[in-house]
Structure 1
Amino acid sequence: MTSTEAARRKKGSGPFSWFEWLLAGRYLRARRRDAFVSVIAILTMAGITIGVAALIVVMSVMNGFREELITRTLGLNGHFTGFPVEQAFSDYNEVRDNLESVEGVVSAVAFVEGQALVTSQYGSSGVNIRGMSIDDIEKLPLLHSSVMYGGWEDWDDLEGVAVGSRLAANLGLGIGDAITLVTPNGPQTPFGSTPQIRSYPVNAIFDVGMVEFDSLFLYMPIRAAQDYFRLYQDQLREGFGELDLMATDEEIDEAYERVYTATAVEVFLSNPDGTFAMQRSLEDAAGRPMVFTDWQTRNQTLFSALQVERVVMFTILSMIILVAAFNIISSLIMLVKDKASDIAVLRTMGATRSSIMRVFCITGTAIGFIGTVLGFVFGVLIAVNAEAIRSWVSSVLGVALFPPEVFFLSELPSRVDPLEVIVVLAVSLVLSFLATLYPAWRAAQYDPVEALRYE
């Protein structure tokens, strides 16, 4: 070993010498004489731990909430909704096929939509009715796979309905039970329009995990919905019932498509954020005048509020770390005053001002580093198990935390974003380091003669 290497090892690797690390470590350890200063340091460390953990948990829950909300909303509603302009929308199947041929489009579905009052022997509720064929329902995996009871068998051939689990619970419905749908837009009479009242059996009960859909949406076959909402062209429908009894299924379907209309089509893209670039392509491919609205425009208020809330929560919770950083300043100032004589002795033994400054920088930064690491561990553990912890606390307290009626989702979602975690850790470490500079600078300015005068 050369003399240079020996001197480097004695001094310590990096910009800090071994005695600076040793001295900083001794200042961090509790002693009976320094118990009060050590308690302040522990409380400061706890504050940083709480701040970092709270930031990670809150940001993860908000990420999960936004992701689940987008996934479930776009799982049933398309990235684009196209509405016909002027003429009756009887060529909806052709338009749907044209839109599916556009590059970047995963699928397109046609549907009938309207509102009605649904009643059962146990109550009534307003619902949003959607009429869709089984082929289009299969393009919505979230809906198709969420059936709890019943199923989609012979969906197009049966005049049954599918209801959400919460709606079924509110109305006391089970598979096979009959419901009555009432809408004011019924047949015209000399005295005006009469209500449209029809009964349908419940064929399926679904649960997509989103309160809005599980309590307000009702699905029925598209042809039954077209008849119920009278979405047909009267002048063509008069001859529709006079088809030859020997007509083939293809001839019947062709005649049906000429007579009956749909409300709109929904388009699902491979890239949900690419709506701006796709709108012109969809308008050109539709083959008829249509107005397309994207999901970001439809939900602009909600997702803008979520984005603002994320920024505000990050700022507010960062204040916890900032307060803890100020505690580092106060605890180090107290430590500097308590160790004034030690600093003076070190200066008389040849320690430089920069060396003294590094000792207290290491001490304060170590407090912040340990608090940050503990906060990272606790924060990630809580964020990963957020739903399990919520369920346990709810069962212990007997109180519904994060009720789905308020937060839209039946479970508390959480998604840890590694980039955001890195940002939180970086903010904590930087604030902890900056908080050490002033006390360390004050320690380095001590005059050994003045410090030892009254010793």
Structure 2
Amino acid sequence: MVKSWASWIGLRYTRAKRRNHFISFISAVSMLGLTLGVMVLITVLSVMNGFDREMRERVLGMVPHGEILGYPVMQNWRDVEKAVIGKPGVLGVAPFVQAEGMLNFEGRTNGVFLQGIMPEQEPKVSIIKDHIIQGSLDALQPGSYGIILGDLLAQFIGARVGDKVTLILPEATATMGGVFPRMKRFEVVGIFSTGAQLDANLALINIEDAAKVKKLGEGVDGVRVKFDDLFTAPQRIREIASTLPGMYRVSDWTRTQGNLFQAIKMEKTIMGLLLSLVVAVAAFNIVSTLVMVVTDKTADIAILRTLGATPGDIMKIFMVQGSVIGVVGTASGAILGVILAFTVTDLVNWIQRVFDVQFLDPNVYFISYLPSDPQLQDVVSVCALSLAVSFVATIYPAWRASRTQPAEALRYE
């Protein structure tokens, strides 16, 4: 075991003022670089975790985990619901009718994805009820032809609650006057906002009204299924459909949002690796710092060797000194990184308000604000990486110091 006095000298070298101020400056820069690297890495990983969380809670809260679709129309959705609801992992089932078209209001037209829902069933598979900002989901009564718009969609066409909008479907209707697209007037009875891109193109109507518009009669397009674990949804929805009598098609969230989810995971991994290089560069600045310290302390090393210090003792002195820089820089970076990770959302919102800018346009990104979700394992992993790299960076300078020959070092003293 290395003697404790070696550690004491290493700590004293760290605290003492050096005659060479340039060495002190390089040491401070190394510590500051390590602090900034750890801080930025923790913050970026927290933001990527935030995007991952919002993807699950908001986007995948609105998008069905799995769908069982009729072939071509599902007439017996109640029987399907009874068969599905008892399966392991199934949290809820709700019927739906969907269509694509265009909404027109006072000359403004925008594409829309129309979702016909049953208001009493929809909360079992979707978070939409918690995000209604005007009106109510219960206002979608059959035969009333009410419609609930996403807030961005409502802004695009300039519609508000109480306005009449025209739905234009891409299907032609032949009349005495010629062929015209199918159109239907709806009254805006509510507006929802999830903070996701769905707000720009999604509209909800009653399922019976949707069936009439699509001329499905008593049928529906299918049922949506919510699972307790969305990652098992693709496999489970196929297993469930295979046990049902009749012909059905299946779909799941990976077909509509899977690429986005995988992109977020890949970006988190790549950003983590790239920013780890920043930490590595900052940590290896310790090498240059300790090399110059060893050069500056050559006479001290020689005197210690003549007093009986072993090469291992000398290595310990400079490894302790370099490790202190790594520990202080890592600890400072971790504290600042955690603080910034918890406040980055409010900070970015404040910058947007003060400078009247928007970093995340909801027309481009699936959410309109910068989320953050600090996680303990990320903080621990970043600190462990920083400390490990800092420790490795001390080995060469410390070994070089241990190879100092007393006679050669003291010859010109």
TM-score under structure 1 length normalisation = 0.86
Q: Aligned partners of 1:22 and 1:44: how far apart in 2?
A: 22
For residues 35-86 of structure 1, what are the alpha-carbon distances to aligned partners after superposition, in whole Å with 9 as ceiling and x for unaligned? 2111111100111111111111111111110121122122112211222235
Secondary structure of 1:401's counterpart equals: coil
Q: Aligned partners of 2:5 and 2:356: how far apart in 1?
A: 56
Query: Quick one: percent identity of the two aligned structures?
Result: 33
Matches within 5 A, 1:50-129: 50-86=36-72, 88-121=73-106, 123-129=108-114
For residues 222-276 of structure 1, what are the alpha-carbon distances to aligned partners after superposition, in whole Å with 9 as ceiling and x for unaligned? 11111112223xxxxxxxxxxxxxxxxxxxxxxxxxxx22122211001222235
For residues 413-449 of structure 1, what are the alpha-carbon distances to aligned partners after superposition, in whole Å with 9 as ceiling and x for unaligned? 1111211221111111100000000000000000000
2:203 aligned residue (211, 214, 218): 218
Gaps of 5+ in 2: none
Aligned to 2:311: 353
Does 1:400 pair with 2:386?
no
Q: Aligned partners of 2:200 and 2:234: how far apart in 1?
A: 32
Deviation at 1:173, TM superposition (A): 1.6
Quick one: structure 1 residues 32 and 394, their matched pair in 2 at CA, closer, same or farther if it must change by over 3 Å? same
Aligned to 1:261: 219
Q: Aligned partners of 1:154 and 1:65: how far apart in 2?
A: 32
1:200 aligned residue (170, 174, 186): 186
Secondary structure of 1:161's counterpart equals: strand
Task: Please report the RMSD computed on the Cα atoms of aligned residues, expressed in angstroms.
Answer: 1.9
Does 1:389 pair with 2:347?
yes
Are the equivalent residues in 2 in contact too, given 1:97–1:108 (CA < 8 A)? no
Are the equivalent residues in 2 in contact too, given 1:184–1:194 (CA < 8 A)? no
Residue-pair matches, total: 412
TM-score under structure 2 length normalisation = 0.95
Q: Aligned partners of 1:171 and 1:402: how far apart in 2?
A: 21
Does 1:162 pair with 2:148?
yes
Are the equivalent residues in 2 in contact too, given 1:102–1:285 (CA < 8 A)? no
Aligned to 2:8: 22
Q: Aligned partners of 1:203 and 1:130: how far apart in 2?
A: 15
1:31 aligned residue (14, 17, 34): 17
Q: Aligned partners of 1:298 and 1:181: how far apart in 2?
A: 24
Are the equivalent residues in 1 in contact too, given 2:161–2:191 (CA < 8 A)? yes
Are the equivalent residues in 2 in contact too, given 1:185–1:229 (CA < 8 A)? no
Quick one: structure 1 residues 280 and 405, their matched pair in 2 at CA, closer, same or farther if it must change by over 3 Å? closer
Aligned to 2:168: 182
Aligned to 1:153: 138
Q: Which amino acid aligns with 2:97?
A: V
Q: Aligned partners of 2:178 and 2:316: how far apart in 1?
A: 89
Q: Aligned partners of 1:397 and 1:68: how far apart in 2?
A: 25
More off after superposition, 135-144 vs 66-75: 135-144
For residues 126-184 of structure 1, what are the alpha-carbon distances to aligned partners after superposition, in whole Å with 9 as ceiling and x for unaligned? 10101111122232452012111111334223221000111112222221111011123
For residues 363-398 of structure 1, what are the alpha-carbon distances to aligned partners after superposition, in whole Å with 9 as ceiling and x for unaligned? 111101111101100111111112101112223333
Are the equivalent residues in 1 in contact too, given 2:65–2:226 (CA < 8 A)? yes
Aligned to 2:370: 412
Are the equivalent residues in 2 in contact too, given 1:156–1:222 (CA < 8 A)? no
1:322 aligned residue (255, 280, 294): 280
Secondary structure of 1:115's counterpart equals: strand
Quick one: structure 1 residues 341 and 322, their matched pair in 2 at CA, closer, same or farther if it must change by over 3 Å? same
For residues 93-124 of structure 1, what are the alpha-carbon distances to aligned partners after superposition, in whole Å with 9 as ceiling and x for unaligned? 32123211212100111111111111111611
Secondary structure of 2:183's counterpart equals: strand
For residues 200-234 of structure 1, what are the alpha-carbon distances to aligned partners after superposition, in whole Å with 9 as ceiling and x for unaligned? 11111111111x211100100111111112223xx
Aligned to 1:295: 253
Secondary structure of 1:116's counterpart equals: strand
Quick one: structure 1 residues 184 and 399, their matched pair in 2 at CA, closer, same or farther if it must change by over 3 Å? closer
Are the equivalent residues in 1 in contact too, given 2:195–2:367 (CA < 8 A)? yes
Q: Aligned partners of 2:179 and 2:399: how far apart in 1?
A: 86
**Greater C-alpha radius of gyration:** 1
Does 1:379 pair with 2:337?
yes
Aligned to 1:435: 393
Matches within 5 A, 1:264-343: 264-275=222-233, 277-343=235-301
Secondary structure of 1:184's counterpart equals: strand
